[in-house]
């Protein structure tokens, strides 16, 4: 197993960490009487789903790597980052058509809305997460090999007493039942 291959499983969690950090950094700058910025956390509402998506990928990765079983990581990563990217796209289209305030619809250019580095970082983190999700499939066989225990393989349990038998056993070690010819 080469380094590039084993390292590729860390792409998605790295993207998740970037997303989580950038969520609390300025996303947008706008003029509303005074010039101010807002992070993803300050925008709040549905944007917390992005935070939850990144956190889910990170926690799932930590659990999976601990169990040496990355079999579910591909689907978890692709669903979470795909849904998060879809949400950003949806919100971007919605915002560009106008922001609904209590006093009518405000267009982004009217309040001098600009995207800040936190917003860019969040988007890049999610894209990295999504791309990293595709690496898990290739990683599958290598991780699967790691999971196969060395030495004798357990065979079907004894038909009489249900005791666990090894593949090379002819007689059950527990009750003496003949296991195979």
Site residues (vs Zn ion, CB under 5 A): 158, 160-161, 163, 172, 174-175, 177
Nearer to Zn ion, 73 or 158 (CB): 158
Smallest gap from Cβ 161 to Zn ion, in A, equals 3
Nearer to Zn ion, 120 or 175 (CB): 175
Smallest gap from Cβ 177 to Zn ion, in A, equals 4
Nearer to Zn ion, 86 or 162 (CB): 162
Smallest gap from Cβ 180 to Zn ion, in A, equals 13
Structure tokens at 138: 């290739």
Nearer to Zn ion, 18 or 172 (CB): 172
């Amino acid at each position: 197993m080469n380094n590039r291959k084993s390292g590729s499983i860390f792409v998605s969690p790295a993207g998740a960490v970037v997303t989580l950090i950038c969520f609390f950094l300025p996303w947008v700058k706008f003029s509303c009487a005074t010039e101010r910025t807002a992070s993803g956390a300050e925008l709040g509402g549905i944007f917390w789903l992005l935070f939850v998506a990144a956190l889910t990928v990170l926690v799932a990765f930590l659990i999976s790597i601990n169990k040496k079983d990355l079999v579910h990581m591909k689907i978890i990563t692709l669903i979470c980052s795909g849904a998060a990217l879809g949400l950003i796209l949806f919100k971007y289209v919605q915002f560009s058509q106008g922001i609904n305030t209590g006093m009518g619809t405000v267009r982004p250019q009217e309040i001098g809305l600009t995207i800040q580095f936190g917003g860019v970082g969040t988007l890049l983190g999610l894209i990295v997460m999504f791309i990293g999700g595709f690496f898990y499939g290739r990683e599958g066989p290598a991780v699967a090999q790691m999971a196969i225990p060395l030495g004798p393989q357990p065979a079907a349990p004894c038909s009489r007493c249900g005791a666990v038998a090894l593949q090379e056993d002819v007689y059950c070690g527990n009750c003496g039942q003949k296991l195979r010819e």
